[in-house]
Structure 1
Amino acid sequence: MNCPFSTLLNAIFFSKDFFQSFLKIFFLFHDPHRSSTNMQNAEAVSATINTNRNCTVEINNVSSIYCLINPKVYMPSGFSYHPPQPTIRTAKTEVCSFTKDDNTATGAVGILTYDLFHMQNRMCTERMAVLFSVPFDCHLYKNVMGIGLFESSRGCDKALYKHMYEGKDFSQFTHADAVGSGIIHRGKKIDLRATMSTVGKAIIKLEVYDKMG
Structure 2
Amino acid sequence: MNIHEYQAKELLRGYGVAVPRGGVAYTPEEAESVARELGGPVWVVKSQIHAGGRGAGRFQDNPSGKGGVRVVTSIEDVAKNAAEMLNHVLVTKQTGPAGREVKRLYVEEGADIKRELYLGMLIDRATGRVTIIASTEGGMEIEEVAHNTPEKIVKVGIDPATGIQGYHTRKVAFALGLDGKQVGAAAKFIMAAYQAFVDLDCAIVEINPLIVTGAGDILALDAKM
Per the normalisation by structure 2, the TM-score is: 0.30
Larger Rg: 1
Compare the two structures and name the one with the higher strand fraction.
1
Identify the structure with the greater helix proportion: 2
TM-score by length of 1: 0.31
